[in-house]
Structures are given as structure tokens and as C-alpha cells.
Chains A and B, each alone.
Chain A
Amino acid sequence: MTNLKKLATSVCAFAMTLSSAAIAAEIDYAKYGDYAKYGSATDVAGACSYESIDKKDYSGRTLKIITHAVPVMGEPTVLHAKQFEDLTGAKVDVVNIPFGDLYQRIMIPFQTGQAAYDVLFYGSLWIGDLHDHLAPVPAAYMDVSGMKDVTVNYKDVATWGSQMVQYPIDGDRHYVKYRADVFDNADLKAKFKADKGRDLTLPATWEEYNELAEYFNNKDWFGDGVVHFGSAEVSKRDDLMFSAFISRVAAYAKNPNVKGGFFFDLETMEPQINNPGFVKGLEMFMAAQKSFPPGGANFGLGDEIFSFGGGQTLFSYSWDDAFIQAQEKDSPIRNKVGAAPLPGAKEVWNRMTKAWDKFDTPNAPPYITWGWTSAVAKASQNQDMAFDYLCFFSNEANTALDLQIGRFGVNPYRTAHFDPKFWQDKLGWDAKVAETYVNTLSGMDKSNNRVFDLRVPGVNQFMSTMANGVAEAMAGQKTAQQALDDVAKQWAEIVEKIGKDKVRAAYANVVALEDQGR
């Protein structure tokens, strides 16, 4: 199939007829919808390029893909599926599923031996439950330029033991988003100094974060009659709140001097969830509630994105989406925001010495939270085509365009993406915004005190019991200590039920990622 002529531009046709040392084609999505405004990107030669995929012939075969709801991840899946059809002659069927139901839609066929899908897009934290059902990425794909450029963190996220079983197509992390126009505002700075006796600076600790959020909560910042609030956080119980909680406790409980486990003590597999570090983090989370906007105690991720992205709050922290929303072309707060690493803590619990360790520079471990990843099912009859699709999905030209389309939810995960110029030139971000963004993101890759998700079998059981305990404390039904003690008890039961050795073996992989130096 050589539909490339139609697909890209006529340049390619020249390239193929002239010589193999070719002028690379310019790729754009104009044919597939109103994508014209995003311009074009250069096809980078290699096994995943438009040129190479165009040479494959998969006519008469069908590729089945399960992915997230549109647009986040779902829209690029569908778009690249259409392109893949045009290039290879394959038929590609895609189904889009909301996040809350994705897990069961993948698990039921896996557990009943039904080869329902060839390619899966899902949350990378499920690797502990899914890895047995996934086909390792073949060596050939490890050598392509796009894969080589993936940063260490995201290679780590995709790896189970010594094998890469997930295909990196996105990068995710939690970090703070703030209103730069507040922190740069001379009047507000002066007023803050008068009130608090110190300069208005970005929060270095969670204590400062809470304090600033409270100070600016329920106030008309700019004297324009609009009341703003402190902090928008993902707080709805079964809606990713567990990730927000981990972000908040990491600083208090991930001690750089202690190796061998964050959620559990790897040796005894005793839950650490109720140690004073976690309790402190939860108490800070509870205290922050008074700076939430109205309804903020029941915010899902979508609400958080709307709240901060719509200019309602001073802070939020979680994935990239709220930042991208704030930076959309027609956003009221475009170029008035900034990104910063998660705050830290000056006192960090040491579970070995059973004491608080003091830090002069706040301890701020990045939380390499789960995010979108992809994989090929082991039971798939179309593994060749499936890996080609993923490799094509993430080729340089596609990624360069996808990164620019905010709603796609494709966020930086290759070294090449951490270049402020890209965001300034392509999307018109101010230099300062682009720099805080890129520096925050790339800074996480340099840390060697990182927190990963609990990537073990039964991860959802652990996370939903944890979320339930946290919610009970947040609603005032239990104290922080009580709630987490109960969670610890349930965690011990879950470990018992799944099998201590099984959980430990899996958790050892996570600990190895966390503890390995750089």
C-alpha cells in the first residue's frame, strides 16, 4: 500500500523515486480533521517512520485496540489507527473506554482466555496484574531512535524485572502548578510580606503550600470582583485521589537515607502506610481542605483541571492536564501560570530509627506516578502488526505533533521533548512558562530519591482500601492515625491473601527502581 502520497505531501513521492537517501517527508494531520493549525513535522527515518510503515502490507488483517476515552489518549489512538490503515491496508478497530472501567474491560478477557484485543492502552500501575498477559517488546523495537531517546524514568516505568513489557508512549508525573501572575504581582507581594513577615516565594514545603493556599483562599486577588481560592486537588474517593495522597506523603515518608521500601518494609512486608510520615502527610491533606474551592472535597481529576485551568485557584498539583488546559490558546490565564516540583518536607520519618530526620534543604522526592502506557497482548495473533502500530504511534513526527495538541494528553517523555524552544515556537508559550515547565519535568529525571506506584499484583485492592481510609479521615469520620491503622490492617490481610512472597517479589522490582542510584 502506498497511500503515503495522498497522506503526507507529494514530497515523499519524490523522495522515493529519487533516491533512498531522501529528503524526509513533512507529515501533517490535515487530512484527518481540523488539525491543520498544528502545522507539520518532519518524518524521521527509521523502522517506525511513515516511510517504513508505508512499505508494510497488512491488507486483510484486523488489529483490535482498546484505549482510553477520547480525547485524552483515545483521540491519538484513533487518529494513528486511521493513518495506519491508510499506510498498511490493515483494518484497525478501536474501542474507547472511560478510565474507571478500563481495568475490568482488560481483565475480564485476560482472565477468561479470550483474545479480545491486540493492543492495550492503560494506566502503567497495573503492570503488576497484567505483566503475565503482555508480550515483551522485541529487541528490534528497542533499537529504534524514538525508543532510545525515552528518558530513564519512563523506561523504568515500562519495565517488569528485566524485560520491557510496556511500550512507552507518554510521560506522566505529579508536580505543582501555580499562578505566576500572583507570585509576580508587586502589590500582592508587598501585602504578603506585610502580613506574614516573609517574602512571597514558591512553596518549598507542604507546610508553606498549605499556608499560601490558605492565605490566598477566598480572596479577590486583583480587586476585580472575582473571588479566587487556594488549592484544587483530586479528592474524590475513587477518582485517582490515591495518587494525590501519595504526592502529599512522599515528602514525609520517603527518606533518602532509608532503602528497602516506601509502602512496605521489603524484608518483613509490613505495611508502612500508618507510620508517622504517612499520618503527617494525611493530616496536611486534611488541613488543606479549608483552602479548597466550593465542592473541592469532591473533585475528580476533571474538576481539578477545570478549576485550576479555568483560573479558580492559586495551586493545584497532579498530572500535566491542568497546566495544558491553562495554556490553551483561548484560556483566560494563558502564560500566567508556572510549574514547580512538588513541595518537600524538612522533617522526614525514618522507619529504621523510628525518628524524624531533619533536612535543611527540604526533602522533595519526585513521585513518578503512573500514566498512560501501551502494550501488546501475549495472546494476540497479530503481534508483528501490533508492535508496528505502537512504534508508528510514537514515531518522532507523530509525537512532535501530538505533544502540541493539548487534549491528546501526550506529554514529554523523551530527552528531545525537554526543550523550552519547542513550547515557545510551536505553541507560543512565554519563555518563562516554558522554562518552568521543562525544568520541572526534566528535573525529576535527575533525582535518585524517587517514589513509584505500588506496582504489585492486586494494586487496585491496595489503592482502593487506602483511598477509603483517606476519605474517611478527610470526612472527619476517623482521625488520620485511626484511618491509616485500619488501612494497614487491611493491607496486611491483602498481602496474606495474595501471598506474601508474590507481593514481595513484585515489590522488590519497585524498590529496586527507587533505590538504584543514578
Chain B
Amino acid sequence: MDQIGTRFYKLSFLLPGFLVLLAIILFPLLFTIRVSLSGWDAITPGLGWVGIKNYLNVFGDTRFWQSMLRLSGMAVGSVLIQYVLGFALALLVWRDIKYKRFFRVLFLIPMMTTPVIMTVIWRTILHESLGPANDLLGVVGLGPYQWLTSPAWSIAAIMMVEVWQWTPFMFLLLLAGLISLPREPFLAAAIDGAGPIRTFFNVTFPLLAPVSIGAIIIRLIEASKLIETVYVLTSGGPGTATETAGYYVYIKGLRDFDIGYAAALSITYLVIMMILLTLIAKLLVKFMLGDKPQ
């Protein structure tokens, strides 16, 4: 095919989506950058110029940096758990198993519940006076646990809710990946006499690496926005033990209505996340694809 024809097709595939997204997102993004250089708050709305003052304050805001650190731990931790569990579950219901279809759908359900409502339900479950968690664990002689009132348990509780809600995300992506795998490599492995474990590491895992990387990155992005779960379960407490960056920005932005400062926090957050995610993506590619360029 000639150059111009290729060029035409090339652009007409990409451009519609690209331009639509750009059109919708460009103004909000530029506007946020501009707001971050303003003193917009509850009393004086508008774009009054304050220069980089907000950014200087962000720099010295230990509460923000601590919440970033906490967030990284919680996000990375819960995403890894989700990935391992999701992969395991996908393998479990991939091939012949009784009631396969039932389990496949059942495993998807948590992701489909509305987070704002479901976290409230989790709060009732973990309620230390009125909830069933400690009650039922007590029956088998465990607990009572301070689900929402001790720092370590509240972090665990929040991560548990995240794992419950989002493991299906990994599960679905990996299951779809498994289902669309070609058969030849497996046949070849079988002919080689490879056992299930060797087949997994030599065939299944490498073949699913691209999907895995994609899934992990997108989950990291989403998990980092952890706000709703924190707000409902502990609102950052006890003390500041579960305060994440997203939640801190929420408090600054929409509770305190310190819009200018919240914008500066967000832009800082955005830049850090872009850098971190790029690095993580590179590392994952290196680790999972064994240095092959993608």
C-alpha cells in the first residue's frame, strides 16, 4: 500500500479517540495547573495569582508526604495481593471444574458493587459493637479485633476491602487472557513432558505477562486514588494512621475548600505518579518479559 494511504488509515484509527479525549481533558488539566498558582479558597474564589507559593507549601507539608508514603505502601501491597489472588482464581476456574460458569460469575460480583455503598456495608460488618465480623470470629475463638480503631488493623481492614472489591478486576483480565491463549505452546510443553508447574512458569506466565503488566499498572493507578474506602471506614484515623494522599487532597479541596492548595497537591501527585508508574512499568517489563522490548 502506498505511503499516503497508510498514513490516512494510521491516523483515522488513532485520531478520533485521541482528539476526543484531548478535547475533554485539556481544559480541566490546564485549568487545574492555573488554579494551583492561585489562592482560590472558600472566601476568595477565583484565579488571584500567588505564584508558586502553594508549591512551596506542598514541599514543607509533612502530612502530605507522610500520606504519600502510606498510600504507596497500601496501594502496592493491596495490588500485589489482588494480582496473586486474581491469577490463582483465574487458573482455578480456567479449565474443567464443576459449576465453572457459576463460580466465574460469582467471583466477578464484588467489582460490580457500587463502592460508595459497599464501603458503608463493610463498615457495618467491621463495626466492633454491632457488626458480624468479630461476632463470627468469636465463635471460632478468634478476636475481638480492633478493625477500625487500631492503626495496624485499620490499614489491614482497608486493604481487605480493597482486595475484596478489586481482585475480580485482575481475575477477569487474566481469565480473558487465559481463554484467548493459543493452544500450540501447551501441546508442545505436554510433548516435552513438562509438569503443571513447569508449564506455568515456562508457558502460561510468560504468555500472560503483557496482560499482567497492563492490569497491574491500571490497578496501581486506581488503587492510588483510594479515598472513598478511607473516608467511610476510618476517615483517616485513628489519628492519621490511614490518611492517604487522595484522602488528604479531598479534605483540603472539598472540605476545607482550599482549592488552590489542593490543586497544587494534585499536580505534585500527578507528576510523582507519572514518574513512579513509568519506572514501575519499565521494571515490570524487565522482570516479566525478560528484557525483551515490548
B residues near A138, Cβ cutoff 8 Å: none
B149, A298: Cβ atoms under 8 Å? yes
Given A295-B129, A461-B256, A464-B255, A475 contacting B144 (CB threshold 8 A): no
CA distance A268 to B239 in the complex (A): 31
Nearest Cβ on chain B to A310's Cβ, whole angstroms: 8
| Chain A residue at smallest Cβ distance from B241 | A475
The stretch from A13-21, A179-187, A466-474 touching chain B is: A466-474
A295, B251: Cβ atoms under 8 Å? no
A476, B129: Cβ atoms under 8 Å? no
A458, B149: Cβ atoms under 8 Å? no
Tell me whether chain A's interface is mostly helix, strand or loop, or mixed: helix
Nearest Cβ on chain A to B25's Cβ, whole angstroms: 19
A471, B238: Cβ atoms under 8 Å? yes
A429-459 residues with Cβ-Cβ distance < 8 A to B are: 457-458
The stretch from B6-14, B107-115, B215-223, B228-236 touching chain A is: B228-236
Given A237-B235, A293-B129, A294-B128, A460 contacting B257 (CB threshold 8 A): yes
CA distance A239 to B146 in the complex (A): 19
Nearest Cβ on chain A to B191's Cβ, whole angstroms: 59
B258 CB within 8 Å of chain A:
yes
A471, B237: Cβ atoms under 8 Å? yes
B194 CB within 8 Å of chain A:
no
B31-80 residues with Cβ-Cβ distance < 8 A to A are: 39, 41-43, 45, 63
B43, A294: Cβ atoms under 8 Å? no
A460, B256: Cβ atoms under 8 Å? yes
Chain A proximity mask over B241-257: 1 for CB below 8 Å, otherwise 0: 10000000001001111
The stretch from A22-30, A99-107, A417-425 touching chain B is: A99-107
B151 CB within 8 Å of chain A:
yes
B residues near A457, Cβ cutoff 8 Å: 42-43
B238, A104: Cβ atoms under 8 Å? no
Partner of B148, one of A295, A474, A476: A295
A475, B237: Cβ atoms under 8 Å? yes
A residues near B128, Cβ cutoff 8 Å: 293-296, 298
B residues near A293, Cβ cutoff 8 Å: 128-129
Nearest Cβ on chain B to A109's Cβ, whole angstroms: 11
B120-144 residues with Cβ-Cβ distance < 8 A to A are: 127-131, 134, 144
| Chain A residue at smallest Cβ distance from B46 | A111
Given A238-B236, A239-B235, A460 contacting B42 (CB threshold 8 A): yes
Partner of B238, one of A103, A475, A498, A502: A475
CA distance A198 to B134 in the complex (A): 38
| Chain B residue at smallest Cβ distance from A476 | B239
Nearest Cβ on chain B to A330's Cβ, whole angstroms: 17
A residues near B127, Cβ cutoff 8 Å: 295, 303
Partner of A236, one of B63, B130, B235: B235
| Chain B residue at smallest Cβ distance from A503 | B43
B240 CB within 8 Å of chain A:
yes
A458, B43: Cβ atoms under 8 Å? yes
| Chain B residue at smallest Cβ distance from A473 | B239
A307 CB within 8 Å of chain B:
yes
A residues near B241, Cβ cutoff 8 Å: 475
A468, B240: Cβ atoms under 8 Å? yes
Chain B proximity mask over A177-219: 1 for CB below 8 Å, otherwise 0: 0000000000000000000000000000000000000000000
A66 CB within 8 Å of chain B:
no
CA distance A101 to B250 in the complex (A): 11
Nearest Cβ on chain B to A299's Cβ, whole angstroms: 9
CA distance A476 to B258 in the complex (A): 28
CA distance A147 to B286 in the complex (A): 73
A498, B257: Cβ atoms under 8 Å? no
Partner of A298, one of B134, B237, B240: B237
Nearest Cβ on chain B to A129's Cβ, whole angstroms: 5
B129, A307: Cβ atoms under 8 Å? yes
A59 CB within 8 Å of chain B:
no
Partner of B251, one of A129, A303, A464, A497: A464
Nearest Cβ on chain B to A480's Cβ, whole angstroms: 13
CA distance A477 to B237 in the complex (A): 11
Given A295-B129, A298-B148, A472 contacting B45 (CB threshold 8 A): no
CA distance A460 to B255 in the complex (A): 6
CA distance A468 to B242 in the complex (A): 12
CA distance A293 to B43 in the complex (A): 40
B255, A237: Cβ atoms under 8 Å? no
B residues near A394, Cβ cutoff 8 Å: none
B255, A238: Cβ atoms under 8 Å? yes
| Chain A residue at smallest Cβ distance from B126 | A295
A327 CB within 8 Å of chain B:
no
B residues near A111, Cβ cutoff 8 Å: 45
B residues near A236, Cβ cutoff 8 Å: 234-235, 237
Nearest Cβ on chain A to B135's Cβ, whole angstroms: 11
A297 CB within 8 Å of chain B:
yes
Given A464-B256, A498-B41, A237 contacting B237 (CB threshold 8 A): yes
B residues near A303, Cβ cutoff 8 Å: 127, 129
CA distance A239 to B234 in the complex (A): 10
A312 CB within 8 Å of chain B:
yes
A306 CB within 8 Å of chain B:
yes
User: B residues touching A (Cβ–Cβ < 8 Å)?
Assistant: 39, 41-43, 45, 63, 127-131, 134, 144, 146-149, 151, 231, 234-241, 251, 254-258
User: A residues touching B (Cβ–Cβ < 8 Å)?
Assistant: 100-101, 103-104, 107, 111-112, 129, 236-239, 293-298, 303, 306-307, 310, 312, 457-458, 460-461, 464, 468, 471-472, 474-477, 497-499, 502
Other CB < 8 Å A-B pairs besides A236-B237, A297-B237, A461-B42, 20 of them?
A101-B254, A103-B257, A104-B254, A111-B45, A237-B235, A237-B236, A238-B231, A238-B251, A293-B128, A295-B129, A296-B129, A298-B128, A458-B41, A461-B256, A461-B258, A464-B255, A474-B238, A475-B241, A497-B39, A502-B43
